[in-house]
Amino acid sequence: MGNTEGPVQSVILVSCPDQRGIVARVAGAIHEVGGNILDASQHTDTSSGMFLQRIHVSWPEDSPDPESIQEAMDELAQEFRMTWQIRWEQSLRKVAIFVSRQDHCLHDLLLLQRDGALNCRIPLIISNHQDLEDVAARFGIPFHHVPVEGSHDESAESAQLSLLKAHDVDLVVLARYMRVLGPNFVNQYPNRIINIHHSFLPAFAGGRPYHQAHAKGVKLIGATAHYATAELDAGPIIEQGVIRVSHRDMVSEMERKGRDIERTVLARAVRWHLEDRIVVHDGRAVVFS
Amino acid sequence: MGNTEGPVQSVILVSCPDQRGIVARVAGAIHEVGGNILDASQHTDTSSGMFLQRIHVSWPEDSPDPESIQEAMDELAQEFRMTWQIRWEQSLRKVAIFVSRQDHCLHDLLLLQRDGALNCRIPLIISNHQDLEDVAARFGIPFHHVPVEGSHDESAESAQLSLLKAHDVDLVVLARYMRVLGPNFVNQYPNRIINIHHSFLPAFAGGRPYHQAHAKGVKLIGATAHYATAELDAGPIIEQGVIRVSHRDMVSEMERKGRDIERTVLARAVRWHLEDRIVVHDGRAVVFS
Amino acid sequence: MGNTEGPVQSVILVSCPDQRGIVARVAGAIHEVGGNILDASQHTDTSSGMFLQRIHVSWPEDSPDPESIQEAMDELAQEFRMTWQIRWEQSLRKVAIFVSRQDHCLHDLLLLQRDGALNCRIPLIISNHQDLEDVAARFGIPFHHVPVEGSHDESAESAQLSLLKAHDVDLVVLARYMRVLGPNFVNQYPNRIINIHHSFLPAFAGGRPYHQAHAKGVKLIGATAHYATAELDAGPIIEQGVIRVSHRDMVSEMERKGRDIERTVLARAVRWHLEDRIVVHDGRAVVFS
Amino acid sequence: MGNTEGPVQSVILVSCPDQRGIVARVAGAIHEVGGNILDASQHTDTSSGMFLQRIHVSWPEDSPDPESIQEAMDELAQEFRMTWQIRWEQSLRKVAIFVSRQDHCLHDLLLLQRDGALNCRIPLIISNHQDLEDVAARFGIPFHHVPVEGSHDESAESAQLSLLKAHDVDLVVLARYMRVLGPNFVNQYPNRIINIHHSFLPAFAGGRPYHQAHAKGVKLIGATAHYATAELDAGPIIEQGVIRVSHRDMVSEMERKGRDIERTVLARAVRWHLEDRIVVHDGRAVVFS
């Protein structure tokens, strides 16, 4: 942490049962170990009485002694039955992108990462088709073709998991990956697999959502970025967007319009995850803006 | 039709199996009986091959001989197996508004009608509660309190239907009327009952949609105006809108935010219906903008 | 403050030059005098180095000793060169609404206040026309007709100011009041006069913005709620909204569409002001959401 | 035109002083020479009394005798003082894209064209910098680096014009090309140069619009696609979009958010131009949706 010029920054996430004085005590503890709070957001879930907080801290070059910080926060944690984590800005997470044949979401993620807007490394792209190998090549990212047979191909999932482990992947992004991942896979990355579903969930879960939307005659179509869970298309919703359609739009036109929503919604969700803005509580994603 | 100065206007709606030359033939027929086409919109439903058209026609003061028009169009109708209707701008339709306790949608409809933005008369308001009697009174509209017991109160529906018949009502608007109307009622006014549902249908059909949306943690909430059918919340969708919410929004705040969407979406749907912009085909509402 | 059941709440706003530890120190001070921080938002303006914070505090029934709070905060204020204010939830501000002939914004404000969504009292409505006297009467609010002659009617402004003083008004809302207020008037209520301008400022400042927008052929029209300053249509922007228009929309149709945006944007701005969510710094309005 | 299977399609645009019967006469003429009207949209500009129409026509394989069509339309044109044009679906226009250093708009246009969503060929990309040469190379499009010196580099413009002539270019797209083109250049391509300006015009015309927007504290930022005219940022507006910003957004964050709007708005404008949906009349762009 001493290899950058100027102050270093980190994000601390805490959650505990709501108690009087918690905000002041956490602020005080961070202050005592030398941190300067740049921004703090909190939310109390009134039904469960759970207090959630995201604190963006700046540490002067000479101060952030990780051990003292750990000690101070652990002490608080014990007193308030609190869980907490700290992420240092410089520690880049490793993201694997899964794709099938469509490249609009992939392109956006790769361009954003290249431009420094996604604070991560992308060590690999995995696909059940070979179509996007050249896109990966252009961006200099290793591409792994893992063919998938049938609806639950355990050997394919096992190969994918091996790749993820080998690259020590922190986050999986399903960028219009058109296969369902089994519970065994999903449960190994709780709240660390982000999927983009091309509808305004919970409307039109499952397959062919644009066909469903067209048949129903809706006037807006949407896209939903959510964490994948074992239950299909039912995980915590991170972000949603919509665009207007009319009777003039055939399914193919809906698909075209939808792509703009899909890629912006997915990119936003990935960005927020990497900025530690999301806390999942009680099946819902709290996003600190 | 001779009691206004200047040209009179009408809207003609036609539907028939799509055939080559249909646009030219209809335009020609209207021209021959003296009409000037101000605007024409058409849509061909490719799955069923059905041609739908809305034609806005201006007639010079001396020309619109309704009988000749009828004759010319009937001739075409026979040739093309076409159904058609004409509505003269001056013939105001009679609209009944159903409400319960909330008045935000009612207020908007009454203000719009007063300002001339809804081409109709509103001969009565019907409610299962007495709360909004004073609002009706302020606008000088007769208010009928029809209490409703249980989930299917046939005598209440029968009283409501009598009122509609007595006032020769053309359109029923359910402006946050919190009761379900039975199939017998609904089937007597096909595509002539407009309901506002406070969710982005088909998500969150049924009761308490804001509670459902909150539990699900969605990031946008919506409202849907649709024609009522015997199947609850499943009729043809006329218009939809959404507004952004976050984890900070309790159900009560969602309800408050939702009200702005509900009233604008409902007002737009009623307006379009009264401008004869909506044709229902194959369970979907085509809206000619 | 002892006349309500349960804890009382207040909003504290502070601003001072940004300094390390400020967040922790303010939180600590509030905690020490018995307050529990429900929510705190802060913003540091990087160009001026100014720290701005809004703190929502809950006080137990027996604790909020206003004098101790005052003392503790004053001490901090001296140390950090801080300005601060506290507003108790129960102290309702007095709002005067100015209107001309159009009532859509007025209606919305009155309905919201009646429903408890605006934390204020509305002791009077002032208008340069008599048209909306009956609306005021329906809601039981005194209506004052102050005719205005020419472009700078000092005697009218003087009469209006007397009314505001007599009613000890805290906030003036110009709800489509179609006259310009002079600098003498405006300067007496800095950041306490909210105007709704019917365009997306800074585009189309000045008169007849929909005519300007139509002439220019824009594809979106907007509305802007801002604090009034001596420079016309140039005060700090609080909120903005837009709606889509097309070449089909005549100026009159733009006006109709615009009304929905105007009233929702104005209502939001007034609500945020009354919730002490707005801090003006360096000519810009920071809105803590 | 006989080299495709199935019927061929074309778009006919007509404009003339509004006259009774014009819709029927044009429809009749097209019908007589064998065309089947798939879709027709019209607009009458009420201030100038000008009638504008876009007609989408399908012609059976054996029928479209271009000479008869020309003859029939010319006859009508003479009678109604009408200007008209026909564009056959198969005749692909040639589009030149101008860029500087930013590639988000370029990428979107190239991906859309590759996917068949832009009915055109892209024979060349011209830039005042070399940064995006590799992007052009990936898509196999010749890249021409034309350095530009100072604010009016006539020799550079002359080199650019030569390239456009050599490739017989129909449409120029300025995809975040950060130089101003002189009147001599612009006037050679009237309504055939599409620019994306990164603000909601007419607000923030000229340079550094995000800096202007930030200084002003607006709550929405926008992008505007318009035809370039000799007057900077004042040409007919084709399409606009907005996105929400807050005081938290620095200029750099506004730029990032703005990019999503810029690229979608520009892509839509280019698409509509290539589908012959735009007619410029009296300085405004009428877009037939």
Asked which of A265-279, D56-70, D105-119 is least confident by mean pLDDT, the reply is: D56-70
Q: Which chains touch D (3 or more CB pairs under 8 A)?
A: A, B, C
Q: How far apart are CA B37 and CA B26, in angstroms?
A: 10
Helix (H) or strand (E) holding A243: strand A237-244
Q: What is the pLDDT of residues D196-235, one digit of tens each?
A: 999 998 999 888 999 999 999 999 999 999 999 999 899 9
List A59's β-bridge partners, or say none: A8
Chain D touched by A131 (CB under 8 Å): no
- For chain A, how long is the longest CA-to-CA vector? 63
Give residue B152's pLDDT. Answer: 82
Whether A188 shows a pLDDT value over 50: the answer reads yes
Q: What is the pLDDT of residues B171-180, one digit of tens each?
A: 999 999 999 9
Give residue A6's pLDDT. Answer: 64
Span between the terminal Cα atoms of chain D, in Å: 26
When the pLDDT of each residue in chain B is averaged and rounded to a whole number, the result is: 93
Choose the closest CB to B111 out of C104, C117, C248: C104
CA separation, residue B78 to residues B56, B66, B73, B98, D31 (Å): 22, 18, 9, 39, 20
Residue with tokens 């919509």: A242
Q: How far apart are CA A31 and CA C25, in angstroms?
A: 9
Q: What is the pLDDT of residues A156-185, one digit of tens each?
A: 999 999 999 999 999 999 999 999 999 999
Chain B touched by C117 (CB under 8 Å): yes
Whether C256 shows a pLDDT value over 80: the answer reads yes
Q: How far apart are CA A218 and CA B284, in angstroms?
A: 9
Q: Which of B71, D224, C40, B271 is nearest to A51 (CA)?
A: C40
Chain D touched by B17 (CB under 8 Å): no
Q: Which CATH superfamily is domain B8-88 in?
A: ACT domain (3.30.70.260)
List B225's β-bridge partners, or say none: B196, B239
- Cα A249 to the chain's mean position, in Å? 31
CATH, domain D93-287, list 3.40.390.30, 3.40.640.10, 3.40.50.170, 3.10.129.10:
3.40.50.170
Domain spans in chain D, listed from the N-terminal domain onward:
8-88, 93-287
Contact A36 C42 (CB under 8 A): no
Whether C1 shows a pLDDT value over 60: the answer reads no
Give residue A64's pLDDT. Answer: 67
Give residue D46's pLDDT. Answer: 82
Cα angle B146, B150, B151 (rounded to 5 degrees) comes to: 100
- A10 secondary structure, DSSP code: E
Whether C254 shows a pLDDT value over 70: the answer reads yes
Give residue C6's pLDDT. Answer: 64
Whether D265 shows a pLDDT value over 50: the answer reads yes
Which of chain B's residues have a Cβ under 8 Å away from the Cβ of A204? 202
| Annotated active-site residue in D233, D249, D260, D282 | D233
What band does A65 get if pLDDT is binned at 50, 70 and 90?
confident
Contact A24 C40 (CB under 8 A): no
CA distance B140 to chain A (A): 35
Span between the terminal Cα atoms of chain C, in Å: 26
Number of H helices, E strands in chain B: 8, 13
Which of chain C's residues have a Cβ under 8 Å away from the Cβ of D203? 200-203
* Upper half-sphere CA count for residue D70 (Cβ side, 13 Å): 5
What band does B90 get if pLDDT is binned at 50, 70 and 90?
confident
Q: What is the pLDDT of residues D150-181, one digit of tens each?
A: 888 999 999 999 999 999 999 999 999 999 99
List phi, psi (to 5°) of D154. -70, -30
Tokens of B36: 């000037």
Give residue A281's pLDDT. Answer: 92
Give residue C90's pLDDT. Answer: 87
Nearest CA in chain C to B109: C104
Rounded to an integer, the average pLDDT of C53-59 is: 94
Cα angle B31, B34, B40 (rounded to 5 degrees) comes to: 45
List A85's β-bridge partners, or say none: A13
Whether C107 shows a pLDDT value over 90: the answer reads yes
Give residue D65's pLDDT. Answer: 82
Question: Beta strands B8-17 and B83-88: pairing type?
Answer: antiparallel
Nearest CA in chain B to D60: B20
When the pLDDT of each residue in chain C is averaged and rounded to a whole number, the result is: 93
Question: In the 3-class helix/strand/coil scheme, how is A160-214 assigned residue by residue?
Answer: HHHHHHHCCCCEEEECCCCCCCCHHHHHHCCCCEEEEECCCCCCCCCCCHHHHHH
What band does C20 get if pLDDT is binned at 50, 70 and 90?
confident
Question: Beta strands B120-127 and B83-88: pairing type?
Answer: unpaired
B 25-64 near A (Cβ less than 8 A)? 43, 45-46
Instruction: Indicate the Cα dihedral angle C52, C58, C62, C67, nearest 10°.
Output: 10
Rounded to an integer, the average pLDDT of B102-106 is: 95
Interface test with D, best of A260, A265, A289 (most D CBs within 10 A): A260
Asked which of A55-59, B129-133, C150-154, D27-31 is least confident by mean pLDDT, the reply is: C150-154
Instruction: Answer positive or negative: Cα dihedral of A228, A234, A240, A245.
Output: positive
What band does B81 get if pLDDT is binned at 50, 70 and 90?
very high
Question: Residue type for B21, please?
Answer: G
Q: How far apart are CA B60 and CA B15, in angstroms?
A: 26
What band does D2 get if pLDDT is binned at 50, 70 and 90?
very low
Choose the closest CB to C237 out of D43, D218, D242: D218
Whether A2 shows a pLDDT value over 60: the answer reads no
Give residue D150's pLDDT. Answer: 84
Residue with tokens 């950060």: D178
Whether A3 shows a pLDDT value over 50: the answer reads no
B133-145 burial, b if ≥16 CB within 10 A, otherwise e?
Answer: eebbeebebebbe
Asked which of A50-64, A162-176, B195-209 is least confident by mean pLDDT, the reply is: A50-64
pTM: 0.94
D 209-268 near C (Cβ less than 8 A)? 216-220, 222, 236-242, 246-248, 250
Nearest CA in chain D to A264: D260
Q: How far apart are CA D140 and CA D132, in angstroms?
A: 13
Instruction: Answer positive or negative: Cα dihedral of D59, D61, D63, D64.
Output: positive
* Upper half-sphere CA count for residue C128 (Cβ side, 13 Å): 18
What is the complex's ipTM, to 2 decimals?
0.91
Alpha helices in D126-208 (DSSP H): 133-138, 154-166, 183-188
C155-177 burial, b if ≥16 CB within 10 A, otherwise e?
Answer: ebbebbbebbeebebbbbbbbbb
Whether B3 shows a pLDDT value over 60: the answer reads no
Q: How far apart are CA D58 and CA C138, in angstroms?
A: 60
Give residue A63's pLDDT. Answer: 67
Chain A touched by D111 (CB under 8 Å): yes
Residue with tokens 């990497």: A274
What band does C195 get if pLDDT is binned at 50, 70 and 90?
very high
Whether B250 shows a pLDDT value over 70: the answer reads yes
CA separation, residue B272 to residues B184, B268, B289, D280 (Å): 26, 6, 8, 28
Q: Is D125 helix (H, G, I), strand (E, B) or coil?
A: strand
Whether C271 shows a pLDDT value over 90: the answer reads yes
Which of chain B's residues have a Cβ under 8 Å away from the Cβ of C289? 248
Question: Beta strands A237-244 and A220-227: pairing type?
Answer: antiparallel
CA distance A270 to chain B (A): 16
Asked which of A33-37, B108-112, B218-222, D62-66 is least confident by mean pLDDT, the reply is: D62-66
Q: Which chains touch C (3 or more CB pairs under 8 A)?
A: A, B, D
Q: Which chains touch B (3 or more CB pairs under 8 A)?
A: A, C, D
Whether B19 shows a pLDDT value over 70: the answer reads yes
Q: Is A99 exposed, middle or buried (0-12, 13-18, 19+ CB in 10 A)?
A: buried
Give residue C210's pLDDT. Answer: 93
Q: How far apart are CA A255 and CA A180, in angstroms?
A: 20
DSSP notation for chain C: --SSSS-EEEEEEEEEE--TTHHHHHHHHHHHTT-EEEEEEEEEETTTTEEEEEEEEEE-TT---HHHHHHHHHHHHHHHT-EEEEEETTS-EEEEEEE-S--HHHHHHHHHHHTT-S-EEEEEEEESSSTTHHHHHHTT--EEE----SS--HHHHHHHHHHHHHTT-SEEEESS--SPPPHHHHHTSTT-EEEEESS-TTTT-SS-HHHHHHHHT-SEEEEEEEE--SSTT-SPEEEEEEEE--TT--HHHHHHHHHHHHHHHHHHHHHHHHTT-EEEETTEEEE--
Whether C170 shows a pLDDT value over 50: the answer reads yes
Whether A259 shows a pLDDT value over 80: the answer reads yes
DSSP notation for D43-76: EEETTTTEEEEEEEEEE-TT---HHHHHHHHHHH
Give residue C289's pLDDT. Answer: 85
Give catalytic status of residue C233 as yes or no.
yes
Give residue A4's pLDDT. Answer: 46
Tokens of D110: 């190239």
What band does D63 get if pLDDT is binned at 50, 70 and 90?
low
| Annotated active-site residue in C108, C233, C249, C276 | C233
- Cα B276 to the chain's mean position, in Å? 9
Whether D256 shows a pLDDT value over 60: the answer reads yes
Interface test with A, best of B220, B244, B246, B250 (most A CBs within 10 A): B220
List phi, psi (to 5°) of C222. -145, 180
Residue with tokens 């762009």: D285
Query: What is the percent of chain D with per-residue pLDDT over 90, rounded to a whole number?
Result: 82
Tokens of C192: 């306490």
Q: What is the pLDDT of residues A66-108, one digit of tens each?
A: 899 999 999 999 999 999 999 998 889 999 999 999 999 999 9
Rounded to an integer, the average pLDDT of C51-78 is: 90
Give residue B124's pLDDT. Answer: 98
